[in-house]
Chain A
Amino acid sequence: MSRSWSSWKRTPFVAVGAVTALAVLTACGGGGGDATAAPGADGKPVDLTFWGWAKGTKEVVDAFNASHQNIKVKFEEIPSGNAGGYAKISNAVKAGNAPDLVSIEYPMLPEFVSQGSVQDIGALLGDDVKKKFLPQAVELTTLGGKNWAVPFDAAPQAFYYRKDLFTKYGVEVPKTWDEFRAAAQKVKKADAKARIGTFFPDDPTTFQAMAWQAGAQWFKAEGDTWKVNTTDPATTKVSAYWQKLLDDDLVRNNASFSPEWTNSLKSGGTIGYVGAAWGAGVLKGTLPEQSGKWAVAPMPTWDGKAASGMLGGSTFAVPKNSKKAAAAVEFAKWMTTTEAGIKARIASGTSSAFPAAAELRPVAKKAFDAAYYGGQDIYQVFEDAGTSINPNWAWGPSTGTTNSVIKDQFGKVTNGGTTIADAVKAGHDATVAELKKRGLKVEG
């Protein structure tokens, strides 16, 4: 519904955009009207259209427009990627009416690159800007030696829990996965209706982040061959662990951010959330009445040493048809690497994004009102987790297929329809078949 609504809304802007593009092109027609020319240098502002869904984006765009004369950004909110946003973007690219800048999360970026949907923006980004970002984030946006997106946030994992209820039930915050299981048992014993966390059957990326944390490497590029392995020992360990938690009814099995899940958080039926840095803002926005009751802890690990995967995290990419890449990248750089850009987003109160640009983390920390977490220094938790992100992980070029198959299978894990391990294996087989169909070399 929202999709058709916003595409109706979009039409006039596409027309406006096309007219302006024409005006800009004719204006600089004489000398070097290429995409790398400084935007708005001829005195006429460049109009950009930007599609995204991350919290606080509207505030960021407003702040940008208020402080810039050469570029004017029109923000259009689309459904989040997996809820139809990605389909909307790829269709718009195919139809030739995509905006100038779009939000794409790290897992999906290779898919868009492999479809040829986005532009190489390496020349516009520049090496000095790249150095500002967390190396892992740059690595994930560099594919085939080219830069395809401006990383915005890193999304180190974090464990959120109800501090008041943990104290009430006498449960210690778990540091290892063994302790997590023991804590889960204790929670259930203390209150038969309460659970420590949730397995999200609709969101394979949460599972992948846990496999990533355990040291798995699903995709490896060697020469021009993809080595796919989603059933390595690390993944198998994680599958078996969560399967056991589900079998013993120690965690819930609910779709992420579903009314069912939110309801159980509200009622105290779910008192923990295995998530990522951005989750702090989401919890705060979803459950305002539980202010002061939540706290953040590092993710439990397998050996007690800090380790993290990355769960989601946004990048900004320029669709291939856009003629305004220079202006788009300038805007993206402003959002990701300037104090004002970060401040505007975090100050919206709904975002707890952990900037990929290291020097801006103090800005984010200052702008975030941590009263919800009892004044806890949550950005320090993210900082520690961020440095421990396992750098070996890469996303393959067919995340759309991989994740839709795993998601389908995860949905059947309830009532013993299948197991997590079998679901992941199905994802593996579908991925290999898909890559072969595309004419790529695959091993696995």
Chain B
Amino acid sequence: MTTTKTAGTRPGAPAPGPDAPLATPPARTRPRSRTGGAAALLLTPFFVLFVLVMVVPIGYAVWLSLFSEKQSGLGFGGTETVFSGLGNYTAALGDPAFREGFVVLLGYCALYIPLMIGGALALALLLDSALARARRFFQLALFLPHAVPGIIAALIWVYLYTPQLSPVVEAMEAGGIGFDFFSPSGALPSVVNIALWEWLGYNMVIFYAALQAVDRSVLEAATVDGAGAWRTAFSIKVPLIRASVVMVALFTVIGSLQLFTEPLILNKGTGSAVTSTWTPNMYAYTAAFERNDYGLAAAASVLLALTAALLSFVVTKLSGGRKQKKAEKGATA
């Protein structure tokens, strides 16, 4: 509190004062080649890794997606790899299973994102206004599920979903609620539930950290002006942590597109309605490892990556645009 008041700027920002102009000239007059050399040296590891683990694999996937394996006769003479242009792309787009994967994702996002953002925000606001001791406990308790690896979480939940095995299902049945978590209509909520359990605490911590950084004097001013707890939460706190909300939304959208582990566990060995091509990621996996069609798998992956890139662009553009407008408004006011 005191630091924010005295400095008036973010920590780390150059201290304003008469010394500042004096400090900068030597840096400016420093020979350009030396800075360039240092920059190159420091950036090399990044670019080497970037090329090795990003550019090369993506390039290889694109390359793979242009070929397909052809056979002749009855197909027992082995395969021949031939260039097929965009053939794998049309095959993937023409496959209803692939398209249905995107419909599932859409449904997943529609259900998951509001629940996630709303839930995490609500919990963070509650935590922000709670007693200090309870705060510690709940922060840890809510974050704990995130420490469980996704695959383990999915296995635990599969156990809890399985009729005749799960105490939860048994209790629900005893209470007159018959819900089949593996049925065609139950599969989506089942997966959303696992994801919520895993990520709610994590996102809550991000929101909570942002709330902690809100200037307390603003909140005090609000209280003095007569704003109640609700009013403070929705008119002061939430607008002030907008940037965090947008960031979490972006990560959640991209994370949703990559949905894989949880439905895969639900697919294997449960006989549930979660198919092996339930999400586009699973479609690519199945194409590669069950159908031995690497070209199709690569094409499906590239299409998914393009969708993710497009979506991230849209989300950042939208949020960035709004922020700018707001800033302009602020300037004119």
Compute how far the CA of A21 lies from the CA of B79 in the bound complex, rounded to whole angstroms.
Answer: 27
Q: Which of A174-182, A376-384, A407-415 contacts B (4 or more CB under 8 A)?
A: A407-415
Q: CB distance A414 to B75 under 8 Å? A: no
Q: CB distance B71 to A258 under 8 Å? A: no
Q: Which of B73, B183, B184, B272 contacts A144 (CB 8 A)?
A: B73
Q: CB distance B269 to A202 under 8 Å? A: yes
Q: In the complex, which residue of chain B has the Cβ closest to the Cβ of A146?
A: B76
Q: CB distance A114 to B75 under 8 Å? A: yes
From 262 to 294 in chain B, residues with beta carbon under 8 angstroms from any chain A beta carbon are 267-277, 286, 289-294
Compute how far the CA of A417 lies from the CA of B186 in the bound complex, rounded to whole angstroms.
Answer: 11
Q: In the complex, which residue of chain A has the Cβ closest to the Cβ of B270?
A: A255
Compute how far the CA of A437 lies from the CA of B77 in the bound complex, rounded to whole angstroms.
Answer: 16
Compute how far the CA of A253 lies from the CA of B292 in the bound complex, rounded to whole angstroms.
Answer: 29
Contacts of A254 in B (CB 8 A): 271
Kindly state whether residue A242 has any CB partner on chain B within 8 Å: no
Kindly state whether residue B69 has any CB partner on chain A within 8 Å: yes
A258-B270, A411-B274 known; A144-B291 Cβ under 8 A: no
Chain A 377-401: CB-based contact to B (< 8 A → 1; otherwise 0): 0000000000000000000011011
From 408 to 431 in chain A, residues with beta carbon under 8 angstroms from any chain B beta carbon are 408-412, 414-415, 417
Kindly state whether residue A201 has any CB partner on chain B within 8 Å: yes
Q: CB distance A87 to B71 under 8 Å? A: no
Q: CB distance B73 to A201 under 8 Å? A: no
Q: CB distance A202 to B271 under 8 Å? A: yes
Q: Which of A24-32, A126-134, A259-267 contacts B (4 or more CB under 8 A)?
A: A259-267
Contacts of B31 in A (CB 8 A): none
B273 to chain A, nearest CB (A): 5
Q: In the complex, which residue of chain B has the Cβ closest to the Cβ of A1?
A: B151
Contacts of A115 in B (CB 8 A): 69, 78-79, 292
Compute how far the CA of A357 lies from the CA of B91 in the bound complex, rounded to whole angstroms.
Answer: 44
From 246 to 261 in chain A, residues with beta carbon under 8 angstroms from any chain B beta carbon are 253-255, 257-260
Q: CB distance A400 to B271 under 8 Å? A: no
A1 to chain B, nearest CB (A): 7
Contacts of B270 in A (CB 8 A): 202, 255, 258, 260
Kindly state whether residue A113 has any CB partner on chain B within 8 Å: yes
Q: Which of B69, B79, B286 contacts A404 (CB 8 A)?
A: B286
Q: CB distance B165 to A260 under 8 Å? A: yes
Chain B 34-78: CB-based contact to A (< 8 A → 1; otherwise 0): 000000000000000000000000000000000011111111111
B103 to chain A, nearest CB (A): 15
Q: CB distance A201 to B271 under 8 Å? A: yes
Contacts of B69 in A (CB 8 A): 115, 438
Q: In the complex, which residue of chain B has the Cβ closest to the Cβ of A198?
A: B271
Q: In the complex, which residue of chain B has the Cβ closest to the Cβ of A439?
A: B70
Q: Which of B162, B185, B271 contacts A411 (CB 8 A)?
A: B271
Q: CB distance A415 to B79 under 8 Å? A: no
Q: CB distance B290 to A224 under 8 Å? A: no
Contacts of A144 in B (CB 8 A): 73-74, 76-77
A202-B269, A404-B291 known; A114-B277 Cβ under 8 A: no
Kindly state whether residue B163 has any CB partner on chain A within 8 Å: yes
Contacts of B78 in A (CB 8 A): 114-116
B104 to chain A, nearest CB (A): 13
Contacts of B74 in A (CB 8 A): 143-144, 221, 224, 226, 397, 440
Kindly state whether residue A297 has any CB partner on chain B within 8 Å: no
Q: CB distance A258 to B76 under 8 Å? A: no
Q: CB distance B268 to A83 under 8 Å? A: yes
B283 to chain A, nearest CB (A): 11
Contacts of A407 in B (CB 8 A): 276
Contacts of B76 in A (CB 8 A): 110, 113-114, 143-144, 146, 397
Kindly state whether residue B89 has any CB partner on chain A within 8 Å: no
Q: CB distance B164 to A414 under 8 Å? A: no
Contacts of B183 in A (CB 8 A): 414-415, 417
A287 to chain B, nearest CB (A): 16
Compute how far the CA of A226 lies from the CA of B71 in the bound complex, rounded to whole angstroms.
Answer: 13
Q: CB distance A438 to B75 under 8 Å? A: yes
Q: CB distance A263 to B165 under 8 Å? A: yes
Kindly state whether residue B180 has any CB partner on chain A within 8 Å: yes
Q: CB distance A90 to B273 under 8 Å? A: no
Contacts of A408 in B (CB 8 A): 97, 275-277
Q: Which of B68, B79, B290 contacts A87 (CB 8 A)?
A: B290
Contacts of B277 in A (CB 8 A): 408
Chain A 55-93: CB-based contact to B (< 8 A → 1; otherwise 0): 000000000000000000000000000010011001100
Compute how far the CA of A201 lies from the CA of B91 in the bound complex, rounded to whole angstroms.
Answer: 27
Contacts of A224 in B (CB 8 A): 72-74
Q: Which of B273, B275, B294 contacts A414 (CB 8 A)?
A: B273
Kindly state whether residue A330 has any CB partner on chain B within 8 Å: no
Compute how far the CA of A144 lies from the CA of B71 in the bound complex, rounded to whole angstroms.
Answer: 13
Q: CB distance A83 to B73 under 8 Å? A: no
Q: CB distance B75 to A397 under 8 Å? A: yes
Kindly state whether residue B157 has any CB partner on chain A within 8 Å: no
Kindly state whether residue B182 has any CB partner on chain A within 8 Å: yes
Kindly state whether residue A200 has any CB partner on chain B within 8 Å: yes
Q: In the complex, which residue of chain A has the Cβ closest to the Cβ of B79?
A: A116
Q: Which of A201, A263, A264, A435 contacts B75 (CB 8 A)?
A: A435
A407 to chain B, nearest CB (A): 7
Chain B 208-252: CB-based contact to A (< 8 A → 1; otherwise 0): 000000000000000000000000000000000000000000000
Contacts of A260 in B (CB 8 A): 162-165, 270
Q: Which of B72, B182, B269, B289 contacts A439 (CB 8 A)?
A: B72
Kindly state whether residue A269 has any CB partner on chain B within 8 Å: yes
Contacts of A83 in B (CB 8 A): 268-269
Chain B 103-116: CB-based contact to A (< 8 A → 1; otherwise 0): 00000000000000
Chain A 144-179: CB-based contact to B (< 8 A → 1; otherwise 0): 101000000000000000000000000000000000
A432 to chain B, nearest CB (A): 13
A113-B76, A202-B271, A397-B76 known; A438-B70 Cβ under 8 A: yes
A91 to chain B, nearest CB (A): 7
A226-B74, A414-B183 known; A200-B271 Cβ under 8 A: yes
28 contacts between A and B (CB under 8 A): A87-B290, A90-B289, A90-B292, A110-B75, A110-B76, A111-B292, A114-B71, A114-B78, A144-B76, A146-B76, A224-B72, A226-B75, A258-B162, A259-B165, A260-B162, A269-B164, A397-B71, A397-B74, A397-B75, A401-B290, A401-B291, A412-B275, A414-B184, A417-B183, A417-B184, A435-B75, A437-B293, A440-B71
Given A202-B269, A414-B184, A440-B75, 5 other A-B residues pairs in contact with their CB atoms under 8 A: A90-B292, A264-B164, A269-B164, A411-B182, A414-B183
Q: State the 6 A-B residue pairs at the shortest beta-carbon distance, nearest first.
A: A116-B78, A144-B76, A408-B275, A255-B271, A87-B289, A417-B184
B residues sitting closer than 8 Å to A (CB atoms) are 68-79, 91, 97, 151, 159, 162-165, 180, 182-185, 267-277, 286, 289-294
A residues sitting closer than 8 Å to B (CB atoms) are 1, 83, 86-87, 90-91, 94, 110-111, 113-116, 143-144, 146, 200-202, 221, 224, 226, 253-255, 257-260, 263-264, 269, 397-398, 400-401, 404-405, 407-412, 414-415, 417, 434-435, 437-440
